Each structure stands twice: as structure tokens, then as C-alpha cells.
Amino acid sequence: MHYPSRTVLREGKRDVQHWHGEESLIKRADGVHDFEWAFVGTPRDVANPSEFRVVMFTKVQHNTVGAAKVASVTDDEAVALWDKLLSGLKFRVKVPGAPEGSYHLQPKH
């Protein structure tokens, strides 16, 4: 079997807030940045959903990946954007079982 050419920018274990997941950041032969982070949680646990996946692509035009002629960001810019986006991934409000700092809005007393 012959797999398409790709460049691995980074991959491996990556914690986001209290979630222990894994990420894969690749650049495909067509120039698309194809980034994914995911983890498997616990069924019926709102603080650790049974499945959680985040993806990001470049060269998107008209909601189609790869349709743009070129990516609007370099490899380093794409990775920096990805890191910024993932670092801001939090619950909107406090949920049962979620540790401090894993949500944006503090409950009012």
C-alpha cells in the first residue's frame, strides 16, 4: 500500500486543561495543514466527555478544505494558531467534576 506524502510537524501526547489527549499536526503534500487533537473520556461524565475531538485545516475556501490556492499561514504560524486555540479550550461555565480553571465563567455567589 502506498500512503500519500506528508510532513509531520508535531505529534504525540498533549494535555489540554485536565484532558489527556493526543495530537497530530501534519502538512499534506497539497499544502493543507491537517491538525487534530482528541481524547477518549468517560461515558456519562460531563467533565470528561466520552469522546472529544478538535480539528483545524488550512487552504479552506467556500467551506472546502484544499480549495484555496495556497495556505494563508506558514507552518510556524499554523502551529502557533493551533496552540493558541487549544490553550483557550474550556467549558463556558462550571460543570460538575471540572477542576478550577477549566471553565471561562465563574459562578456568581
pLDDT tens-place string over residues 35-47: 999 999 999 898 9
**What would the mean pLDDT of 11-31 be, rounded to a whole number?**
96
pTM above threshold 0.95: no
Is 29 buried (19+), middle (13-18) or exposed (0-12) by CB count in 10 A?
exposed
The larger pLDDT score, comparing residue 81 to residue 5, is at: 81
pLDDT at 108: 66
Q: 98 lies in a domain?
A: yes
The CA distance from 57 to 34, in Å, is 5
Say how many domains are in the chain: 1
Domain that holds residue 69: 6-105
**What would the mean pLDDT of 50-68 be, rounded to a whole number?**
94
Q: 23 lies in a domain?
A: yes
CA 28 to centroid of chain Cα atoms = 17
pLDDT at 94: 86
Q: 88 lies in a domain?
A: yes
Q: 1 lies in a domain?
A: no
